[in-house]
Amino acid sequence: MSLSDLSPVRFGAPRILKAETIQKKNGTSETLIYVNNILNDASIRQFLTNGEFPIVIMKPGSNTLYGFKLESISNPINVGSEGYAYKITGQVCISRTECGVPLIIGSGDSLSFNVKYDDLKEHNPNYVIFDGLALPNTDVNGDLYIRASGNGTKATKISWAENITGVPSDFSDCSSRGK
């Protein structure tokens, strides 16, 4: 047995370990995020209806942040040493009012669970925050408004993970190009 066979630590603050996006021929895409532990189901699913952004994205060569508006998230799949995989769908947003722009999660993008605005500023004050994409400092109960791991530990800082974009899932046009 080697160290690479060991599962990642499954306690503490949730982190995205890596992401893979499969771009389909019809222009849609699906992203798998690999997380170090199980997410609190109620906490993550609140983002389906509340208009907040559970994930932030940074494009290569830029320090501008984009928000990811979550439309669906699968149940977790235990993938051993890679953590837990969740399939997410949604839209990349440049502001609270501009989603569905011709932006997708792409190769080389960095993804992280969103954290409250003050933590984001402290991590790197040079980030450009468009229209309040970072989570607010508190929710209506005065708690930090960030998703928690299954054991209740909250994400408290930006932790970037690289995205790998897959090839189109329909290869029928490859034969016409001799590939």
Confidence tier at 116 by pLDDT (50, 70, 90): confident
Rounded-to-integer distance, Cα 136 and Cα 52, Å: 9
pLDDT in tens, 88-112: 998 899 888 888 777 888 889 999 9
Mean of all residue pLDDT scores within the chain:
79
3-state secondary structure of 2: coil
pLDDT in tens, 33-67: 999 999 988 888 888 888 889 999 998 888 788 99
> By percentage, how much of the chain surpasses pLDDT 70?
77
Residue-range domain boundaries for the chain: 3-157
